[in-house]
Structure 1
Amino acid sequence: MLYTARQERYESMTYNRCGKSGLKLSAISLGLWHNFGGIDKYENGRAMVRRAFDLGITHFDLANNYGPPPGSAEESFGRMLKDDLSPYRDELIISTKAGYYMWPGPYGEWGSKKSLVSSLDQSLKRMGVDYVDIFYHHRPDPDTPLEETMAALDMIVRQGKALYVGISNYRPEQTREASRILKQLGTPCVIHQPNYSMMSRWIEDGLQEVLEEEGIGSIVFSPLEKGILTDRYLNGITSDSRAAGPSVFLRPEDISETRLAKVKELNKLALERGQKLSQMALAWVLRGGRVTSALIGASKVEQIEDAVGALANASFSQDELDRIEYILK
């Protein structure tokens, strides 16, 4: 059946300006890192993307190597564009990245001009689009001069292959220098994508100040700390959870008894607020307006609905913030 987007999709979503740019992002964005690859059920991924858009999520975040297998998430998303979302392309913010390992040889990863340009050309073909809205350098390259990497991003914008550029996983001083170079070239860095959650707070040690000074927005990944900041592990590790499987991203030791006790206390506070723990965790990273968007992953439609539901109670009293600090100390 032909997909028609929900008419009320923009009524309940919050849209935040990205730094000092004209770009606005939905407060909740959908990442296609897992569950959208060639090994996953296409119709499930399709249902999630459609529901996300119906709820006002306009930003869909990919990378060249998302899958598995690498590249297949972009292929799946390209198919979803063709099947459902092509009439709405001008309402979408599509991003992709390059920098992690994608293909053999010296240009299949890192940050050379050869690598970034080749990778984006491949990504555009996989998705069947002429341009992406945001193109990121996915991680700093210790061996390629930063000037070369940033010049590649500038060239990509001038070629019309991306509207905006960003960086991911850059530390504060690297971010400041990358921003300086890009401003000099005339293509400012508009966004940074770091990890951030109640339990992983390194961006508070200087990066957020740099982003504010440079006028750069931020979209944070892993705001639920790989699922730990949900109600999934309140009773320990279940047989169907990610931690019980072969995941290299979430290990049983990541959910220690000490950590689990903190999660249970946070869950009590969330329930007092009339929220799920996951919703409180998303609202927390968005508090105060320093984060532009929270990037979620999902394996089913209900998780996307829950995430958007976090925006219904996105403010915190000082007492609640103090309780969170006390629990996590």
Structure 2
Amino acid sequence: MFEPTAVYTPDPTRYESMRYVHSGDSGLQLPEVSLGLWHNFGDITPYAQMKEVVFTAFDNGITHFDLANNYGPEPGSAEKNFGRIMREYFPCHRDEMVISTKAGYEMWDGPYGRGGSRKYLLSSLDQSLERLGLDYVDIFYHHCMDPDTPVEESMGALAQAVNSGRAIYAGLSNYDGPTLEQAAAILDELHVPFVINQNRYNIFDRTIERNGLKETAKKLGKGLITFSPLEQGLLTDRYLNGIPADSRIAHDGRFLGEDALTDERMGQIRELNAIAQQRGQTLAEMALAWLLHDDAVTSVLVGASKPQQVLDDIAAMNNTDFTDEELRRIDEIAGA
């Protein structure tokens, strides 16, 4: 175990303000709000800024930190940067954390740098552990379905990751219901602790309601952690009066472009914002609360580039009750 090389003393009351939920039928508990280190922990972000975001998250009971091999930019840099934070400030707190990573999307050139093959998944996990400076991760996910690889091979690789001690639990990400059911049966037969699915889900994006993932996960007793809860910032009040100079659209168009702000979408955002105001919440708080009220959802992954954003996201836990009329109206506005 590394010795910390810098001083950081976590808030001793950090667990009091967070709720923890079992991931499906498993014994693993996750915080209702987890921190995703997608594109705010790459090399374009100042290290001090990343460090303060992690400090704020941990000080407020966020114990789960989610990565993938290709998170950056550049690919791999999020794991490298988080590994540095762990080494310098958190080695004494490793057992208080759930750290996850994934492999599936393209990470390096050639035929072995993507997909679901045993070769790729296990090689990628070794590289992730080296970047993180860890002996193991708590959850290792297959990041996406691969139609060119037998599901049995991909699940066998997850089994090897767990059996070798390089991961404690297995997870699946971006699967649909039928493939989830097939994969879960294989993992059960292999006695692999598969406990969670990670999928995109928010008021606007209802894919997992249509492809069977949400229903199947609940039926099988598997957890569900959701990403993009704010639809890349559209489910906030950021764009109600135009495009701010410091917004994602203005300075980083990789994931959200100006063409997303159609008249129809803006109308939906304004109507949802009105409901949020009636509830005494910001639109972002309501969007997160809408996910947290759902008993199929274990945890919501949030991204943050500033400490205050972490605190704002946690505030959504203060009111997760919705009337039937509010839920009906939200579905109607979203076209669900």
Normalising by structure 1, what TM-score?
Answer: 0.97
1:136 aligned counterpart, secondary structure: strand
The answer as to whether partners of 2:10 and 2:58 remain within 8 angstroms in 1 is yes
| Counterpart Cα distance in 2 of 1:86 and 1:270 | 40
Quote the offset at 1:105 in angstroms. 1.4
Which of 170, 174, 181 aligns to 2:175? It is 170
Q: Who is 2:3 aligned against?
A: none
Alignment of 1:38-49 (within 5 A): 38-49=43-54
Quote the offset at 1:326 in angstroms. 3.0
The answer as to whether partners of 1:29 and 1:294 remain within 8 angstroms in 2 is yes
Q: Who is 1:292 aligned against?
A: 298
Deviations 1:236-294 (A, max 9, x none): 22333222345231122211111111111111211221211101000101213110011
Question: Against the structure 1 CA distance between its residues 246 and 279, is the aligned structure 2 distance closer, same or farther, given a 3 Å change threshold?
Answer: closer
- Structure 2 residue 187 is matched with structure 1 residue 185: no
Alignment of 1:135-150 (within 5 A): 135-150=140-155
| Counterpart Cα distance in 2 of 1:121 and 1:135 | 11
Which of 266, 269, 274 aligns to 2:275? It is 269
* Worse-matched range after superposition: 160-169 or 207-216: 207-216
Deviations 1:25-80 (A, max 9, x none): 10001011112112210010000001000010000000001111111110111111
* Worse-matched range after superposition: 161-170 or 263-272: 263-272
RMSD over equivalenced CA pairs, Å: 1.1
Runs of 4+ in structure 1 displaced over 3 angstroms? none
Q: Which amino acid aligns with 1:97?
A: K
Q: Which amino acid aligns with 2:213?
A: L
The answer as to whether partners of 2:292 and 2:317 remain within 8 angstroms in 1 is no
| Counterpart Cα distance in 1 of 2:101 and 2:163 | 17
| Counterpart Cα distance in 1 of 2:304 and 2:224 | 20
Which of 310, 314, 319 aligns to 2:320? It is 314
The answer as to whether partners of 1:95 and 1:134 remain within 8 angstroms in 2 is yes
2:65 aligned counterpart, secondary structure: strand
2:34 aligned counterpart, secondary structure: strand
Alignment of 1:248-263 (within 5 A): 248-263=254-269
* Worse-matched range after superposition: 193-202 or 271-280: 271-280
Q: Who is 2:42 aligned against?
A: 37
- Structure 2 residue 211 is matched with structure 1 residue 199: no
| Counterpart Cα distance in 2 of 1:246 and 1:25 | 31
Quote the offset at 1:138 in angstroms. 0.4
Q: Who is 1:112 aligned against?
A: 117
Unaligned runs of 5+ in 2: 1-5
| Counterpart Cα distance in 2 of 1:196 and 1:62 | 18
Q: Which amino acid aligns with 1:267?
A: N
1:96 aligned counterpart, secondary structure: strand
The answer as to whether partners of 1:111 and 1:140 remain within 8 angstroms in 2 is yes
Q: Who is 2:330 aligned against?
A: 324
Quote the offset at 1:319 in angstroms. 2.3
Q: Who is 1:209 aligned against?
A: 215
| Counterpart Cα distance in 1 of 2:11 and 2:245 | 37
Which of 76, 80, 88 aligns to 1:75? It is 80
1:47 aligned counterpart, secondary structure: helix
The answer as to whether partners of 1:179 and 1:188 remain within 8 angstroms in 2 is no
Q: Which amino acid aligns with 1:165?
A: A
| Counterpart Cα distance in 1 of 2:89 and 2:320 | 31
Q: Which amino acid aligns with 1:256?
A: T
Aligned residues: 329
* Worse-matched range after superposition: 5-14 or 268-277: 268-277
2:9 aligned counterpart, secondary structure: coil
